[in-house]
Structure 1
């Protein structure tokens, strides 16, 4: 496959993935398969994907931060938890069979999708008045730890689960939860990227054009999410959940 053909396949899909990821998480469900479909070797695909994602996610994070839709301290605490959790999850890979997690997702994902569709008030506004600050910090750390472990063990849909957790447990609005999820994702992506860079697993000739597309997608997605709020974010979240559910089912066939 020629270089131009490779970019022709990858770049539009990375733009779409960045757009979706900025809004509701889950962009990796599209971006990583894009590299593999274009014939990029699997380890290079992972490293190059992380490179583009880091740059794209940083743009979305800045956009959410400037709009006031990130709770910085809870996000940073959650990021620390995610780094620890991701390491734990990576260790669990050698001990447990991921099929049991997939069985759980087959049950959980449709329930979450139905909940989002029929609970109109979910994540409509920040509702943290009944929670003490310390409780929010502890909850944020636990969210990062558990979902970080999921990310290290399995991965797809991590950003979406972060948004759901910040909204349902910490009481953040769905927009604020999306912003916080970006910061947590950025921290875990940077940690992984360093490993890939040190091992020479990033193809910059593909990664730089992909990163530009990721930036454009993330910027547009974040802008629309901030402008339109929950009425825009929730349908995208449901789409990501359906996409993840389809992926899990497909892997069992």
Structure 2
């Protein structure tokens, strides 16, 4: 474990718990956890921060996936097909991550977040209820290519917001309500996290002891978040999505231009 103060460790653990909760409800927990790691471990190479973030996230996401699959019906076969494509994309993305400069992360994430926010705000009925009838093969293939390979590559390369992008992509392409999209996303996100983590572990970039401590808090947050999303429904998920995205855009803008 790197030499960090108890205060920094406590704040990283709180960020991990919050990230686990957010990730389980609507995705995007990395937008809390990754900036916290970047601030808490300022002198480490970006690849080590990204790798440790993945090692923590896979635990909370896995717990949320188990909670969802036990309590709601999802098309597990389709989710796993998308997940395999996402794992391969994530593995490829992680192989390029060592060359990413942390200075480019904030503006890039802001652009993506604003795109997500505009989509959600201007589509108030989005994800309120699933479409009637079975999903066509064409839509499943599109989900595998776009939500799987494409977003999977992004997850391995950068990561923050992957869950949120998956929720929106799966709800739009497969015509799922937001709760079902969140449940399916967790299965896919476990695959992307494992793909990226395998590459980072091979590169020796994971801070395993720090990740293990933070993972306990991420796990707890993920289990609580999944239960709340299932209990309160799509309206709750959409509200959390908007609040999370707005808060993060404001925070990143402040860090970029006013800090």
Q: Would you say the 8 A contact 1:157–1:244 is kept in 2?
A: no
2:141 is aligned to: 138
Please report how far the alpha carbon of residue 201 of structure 1 lies from its aligned counterpart in structure 2 after TM superposition.
Answer: 2.7
Any stretches of 5+ residues in structure 1 without a counterpart?
none
The Cα offsets for residues 105-143 of structure 1, whole Å up to 9 and x where unpaired, read as 63x6445424423544321222151632x2342122122
Structure-2 residue corresponding to 1:240: 244
Distance 1:188 1:241 in 2: 22
When normalised by structure 2's length, the TM-score is: 0.81
Instruction: From the superposition, tell whether residues 74 and 244 of structure 1 become closer, same or farther in structure 2 (CA, over 3 Å).
Output: farther
2:197 corresponding residue in structure 1:
193
Question: Do the aligned partners of residues 91 and 248 (structure 1) sit closer, same or farther apart at CA in structure 2, a change above 3 Å counting?
Answer: farther
CA distance in 2, matches of 1:242, 1:17: 16
The aligned counterpart of 1:15 is: 17
Tell me by how many angstroms 1:91 deviates.
7.3
Query: In the alignment, is residue 26 of structure 1 matched against residue 36 of structure 2?
Result: no
Question: Match for 1:81 among 78, 81, 85?
Answer: 85
Q: Which residue of 2 aligns with 1:45?
A: 49
Q: Deviations over 1:12-70 (max 9, x none)?
A: 11100111011111111111222232237244332222121111111000001001243
Aligned length, in residue pairs = 248
Match of 1:217 among 215, 221, 246: 221
Residue in structure 1 matched with residue 121 of structure 2 by the alignment: 117
How far does the alpha carbon of each residue in 1:73-123 deviate from its partner, in whole angstroms, 9 at most, with x for none?
1211111222333355567887xxx97xx67963x6445424423544321
The 1:218–1:203 alpha-carbon spacing in structure 2 relative to 1, beyond 3 Å, is same
Q: 1:211 to 1:91 in 2, by over 3 A?
A: closer
Question: TM-score, normalization: structure 1?
Answer: 0.83
8 A Cα contact 2:74 2:183, kept in partner = yes
Q: 1:64 to 1:199 in 2, by over 3 A?
A: same
Task: Verify the 8 A CA contact 1:48 1:207 in the aligned structure 2.
Answer: yes
> CA offsets, 1:211-235, max 9 Å, x none?
1100110001111011101121112
1:2 and 1:76, CA in 2 relative to 1: closer, same or farther beyond 3 A? Answer: closer
Among 201, 207, 210, which residue is 1:206 paired with? 210
Determine the C-alpha separation between the residues in 2 that align with 1:52 and 1:151. Answer: 14
Work out whether residues 29 and 243 of structure 1, in 8 Å CA contact, stay in contact via their aligned partners in 2: no
Cα separation, 1, equivalents of 2:249 and 2:88? 27
Distance in 2, Cα, partners of 1:251 & 1:225: 30
Note the aligned Cα RMSD (angstroms). 3.1
